[in-house]
Structure 1
């Protein structure tokens, strides 16, 4: 079936955890539950009150959770994942609730708290935080399955981060209003500034435990990534905190202080782990990019070698052709033209031209880097596979893909690798054109259909397009419209398509951009590329 280009794992969302990471995560979870077991017998021992302690912890966690949210939003933009958007919004919502929680905490900034706080206002804001976080993970786990099964087939639009952030802010404002102005509509959690209602605390902690356990179960069932593993650690930390919080009946006890300490520690562990893994992945990506740059330099050197070989091998027959043509003109320019000798010179010119073509063919075969076998290729399958390879690039540049593929297309005879290179070249050019597009949707549309005895593939985009004066030269070697282009991509694409017995053409888009049309024969006898046998 030919060579397939392997997809790289480019983020925490799709990279499986390593053995060392799994061991570290398990050790952290064991440490958290061991700490809970040690603290539980002494949890209700009263300690001196420190009203500044909760707001101080809130401030650190506020920055921590916003950083996690920013990391997740950046991953969501690359992967175009609704699941990551929901998860990031959950972190942002939880972080924003820390501000009113600190302001309304009794004794922190005023005896009863600011914002019109009542006895249980700060407690209810903490409850909203503790229930929303596992709920966001549950939705994330459910949406992740949908995202993974609809990677290419569906028309997935780039995710919108700003509306998600605004939505999290709006929900945080509503939760604050409910906990303050709507305080009397909620069941009481505290009797006064320090003593809690034990039954309310138990019920609320049981709800958090149930939600956390559900999230753990859903994450455990699916194929886990680095992000999923650290989310499981975070949920385990919520479970441990709920177990510690359940027997507490008052603030400013040993268990109260340890609870805030565990919340801070678990959040910092997740944040540092995500940052460390992100840096590791980006370092690996940088090394991979450097390796590709070295490979490109090596290919450029190979091109220099090819050019030198062409100049050396082709120079002789071209010089002979020039000499024979000049001689023929000399025989014809005489007062009494010698047509016989002129004709002989023309024949020698033609022979020299034929030798030139043979030399070029031999050089091309000599520098061939692949076997290039011909086989039956499902064009639609190849389009989907190629689109999946470039999904990351489209996500980075917020490009949406629209597929309109005729499922009844018969297979064609082609070199799968070379045909995929043509598709990659067309899609890459379209993405580069769309990356500078402003004030309109960035869209690539691919359409396949049968037209008579041929298959027709149309690739169009909504980018800047091609100037009409340049359309006639777009497939010429070394002709490029890009400042950094080599001008070889479309020329080689035309060569590959024509060797398969097909045609490729370019035209302006209907409204914007450009449209490339490829026509390929259906199961016809095709000359094997570079002399390769038909598989």
Structure 2
């Protein structure tokens, strides 16, 4: 009589996948939610002034709306990735996308006393999922902010650069923190590996997956004389030319 093989229990694998997805959502929406909180408080403070500072309150409320829209879009994007849906591509200017992410993080950068240097090249376009690439840039900037928290012996700086690197369009995010320990350089993109206490280990793994899904790449190296740099690159791009009406 033939033996009956037991059916493998798929529940642990499903629970692990669910846990990774939940960790991804928590990681991605944390900063937009923080921006909503900060700007909502700022709006209330402006309205409590005598007389109320209505224009400043309106600006804060606009930031609340933008951050809530970004959080919703990121959750929808992560859901699509979990379901292995194709990226929702559109044509957009890379410099504008980077500026939009930076705007969402301005309050946190000011709070951490980080000076930002922006160096934008020509306005190149990508045909890509804008929300997913915003996720990547936001992750890289948040990692830089985290790397700078313990820096007290020099000014904290973050630099953003866009432009061509050889035949690829490159977005570079660099900080002047402690850098990446050589022993960990090969592991920082591994899923569930984190150098931060309480970290999910999902951020850089998601970033690289998004880059590769768009035919691009993501690499890191140590900056000079201090810090780390991350290079997000794409082979397919076009130069934006304003339409003539």
TM-score (norm 2): 0.67
Gaps of 5+ in 2: 1-31, 59-63, 65-70, 239-245
Corresponding residue for 1:473?
187
Contact 1:401 1:445 in 2 (8 A): yes
Which structure shows the bigger proportion of residues in strand conformation?
2
Corresponding residue for 1:237?
none
Gaps of 5+ in 1: 27-218, 227-284, 286-291, 293-298, 300-305, 307-361, 525-535
From the superposition, tell whether residues 521 and 428 of structure 1 become closer, same or farther in structure 2 (CA, over 3 Å).
same
Q: How does 1:89-238 map to 2 (within 5 A)?
A: 223-225=55-57
1:8-39 alpha-carbon deviations (Å, 9 max, x no partner): 3254478653xxx69xx68xxxxxxxxxxxxx
Corresponding residue for 2:108?
393
Contact 2:173 2:229 in 1 (8 A): yes
Corresponding residue for 1:428?
142
Contact 1:457 1:519 in 2 (8 A): yes
Residue of 192, 216, 230 corresponding to 1:502: 216
Contact 1:412 1:521 in 2 (8 A): no
Q: How does 1:278-427 map to 2 (within 5 A)?
A: 364-365=82-83, 372-406=87-121, 408-427=122-141
Corresponding residue for 1:519?
233
Give me the whole-angstrom Cα distance separating, in 2, the residues matched to 1:363 and 1:223: 39
Kindly state the Cα deviation for residue 479 of structure 1 after the two structures are TM-superposed.
1.5
Mean alpha-carbon deviation: is it higher for 410-419 or for 515-524?
515-524
Bigger-Rg structure (1/2): 1
TM-score (norm 1): 0.32
Kindly state the Cα deviation for residue 486 of structure 1 after the two structures are TM-superposed.
1.4
SS of equivalent to 2:215: coil
The higher-RCO structure (CA 8 Å, 6+ apart) is: 2
Kindly state the Cα deviation for residue 373 of structure 1 after the two structures are TM-superposed.
1.0
Contact 1:465 1:514 in 2 (8 A): yes
Query: Paired residues, what number?
Result: 190
For the aligned residue pairs, the C-alpha RMSD in angstroms reads: 3.6
